[in-house]
Amino acid sequence: MKLKIAIQKSGRLHEDSVKLLRECGIRLDNGHNQLRAEAVNFPLEALFLRDDDIPQYVEDGVADIGIAGANVVLEKGKQVAIADRLGFGRCRLSLAVPRNDAYGSVRDLAHKKIATSYPRLLRRYLDEQGVEAEIHEISGSVEIAPGIGLADAICDLVSSGSTLLTNGLKETETILHSEALMIRNMQLTESKTGLLGQLLFRIRAVREAKRYKYILLNAPNSQLEAIHRLLPGMKSPTILPLAEPGWSSLHSVVQEDAFWSITEQLKDLGAQGILVVPIEKMIA
C-alpha cells in the first residue's frame, strides 16, 4: 500500500514540491517515466499532473494527497481537505486597472468588464463588496486584456508586480493571499491517514528547522548565565568545559531572526568564536 501524491508536472510548484519531499528524506526514482515516480524509501508514489487538475484527482481519490496553490484549490472548490500550508509558491490574486485610470475604490468597477482566470474567487469577492461587474473568463495572458480593449480591469496572480508594470497596469485590491497547500482526499483509509501523518510530521520538522540555527560559542564561565538568558534554546543549552580554565563552550539553538539582534550583546558578554550553523531537521 502506497500513499499517492499529485505534484505539478512542470511549472512554478514542481521544483519546490520535489525539494520538500527530498528534505523529508523521500527520494523519487522516476527513471524515464514522466507521469509517475516511486519513492525509494517511503511508501509513496508521485503522480505528475497539471496543477489545475490536482484538486479533482484528489477529490476522486486517484491521488490521496496533492500539492497545489490555494488559488487553484479555492477556485476549483472541490471536496478536499487542507492538510497543511507549505509556505512556497506565494503570490496574491489581485485586481488591477490601467495605470492612468482614476481609481478610488472597488466601487469604481461597478458595471465594468473584468478579465480573469479566477471567475469563482472574483465573483465571491465582488459579491462580498456588493459590486456588480461583468466577469470575462479567459484562460491565459489575462494581463493584455485591457490593452487590447477586451476588458476594463483584470484579476490575476501577482508576485513581483513586474508583469502588471510592463503591461501598464496598477494593482488596486488584493482578493487572496496564496501559497502552496497540501490537500487530502476526504475519505482516506486509516492506514493512508497514518502515512500522511508521518509525512506531515517530517514536513513540520523540516519547516521548524528552517526557523532555527544551531549556535556554538565560547565564553567565560562567569558570563554563562547571562548568555543563557539571551539564548533560551530548546530546553537548556549544552555546556562543555574548554581546556582553558574558566572557559566553556555553549551549544544551543536560536531563531534566525533573533540571532542578529543579540550578536552584539553576546560579544559584549565576552562570547568568542561564535558559530551559527543550519539545522536540517528539528523535532521538539
Give the residues lining the site for Zn ion (CB under 5 A): 51-52
Nearer to Zn ion, 71 or 94 (CB): 71
| Closest-CA residue to 67 (of 78, 79, 51) | 51
225-245 exposure pattern, b = at least 16 Cβ within 10 A, e = fewer: eebbeebebeeebeeeeeeee
Q: What angle do CA 65, 40, 22 make, to 5 degrees?
A: 65
Give whichever of 51 and 156 is closer to Zn ion, judged by the CB atom: 51
Residue 144 CB, shortest distance to Zn ion, in Å, is 18
- At a CB cut-off of 8 Å and minimum separation 6, what does 175 contact? 93, 94, 95, 121, 122, 125, 155
Residue type for position 274:
I
Candidate list 23, 38, 45, 52; residue touching ligand PRT; CB under 6 A: 52
Q: Among residues 6, 28, 65, 72, which is the contact residue for ligand PRT, using CB under 6 A?
A: 72
Give the one residue of 41, 100, 139, 162 binding ligand PRT; rule: CB under 6 A.
162
Applying CB under 6 A, among 167, 178, 185, 248 the residue interacting with ligand PRT is 178
Measured CA to CA, the distance from residue 37 to residue 267 in angstroms comes to 50
Cβ distance to ligand PRT smaller for residue 71 or 248: 71
In the complex, the smallest distance separating the C-beta of residue 97 from ligand PRT, rounded to whole angstroms, is 16
Interaction between residue 11 and ligand PRT (CB under 6 A): yes
For residue 219, what is its C-alpha cell? 565564553
Nearest approach, Cβ of 69 to Zn ion (angstroms)?
A: 9
If the CB atoms of residues 17 and 248 are measured against ligand PRT, the closer one turns out to be 17
* 89 makes contact with ligand PRT (CB under 6 A): yes
* 72 vs 227 by CB, closer to ligand PRT: 72
Instruction: List residues near ligand PRT by CB under 6 A.
Output: 8, 11-13, 50-52, 69, 71-72, 89, 91, 156-163, 178
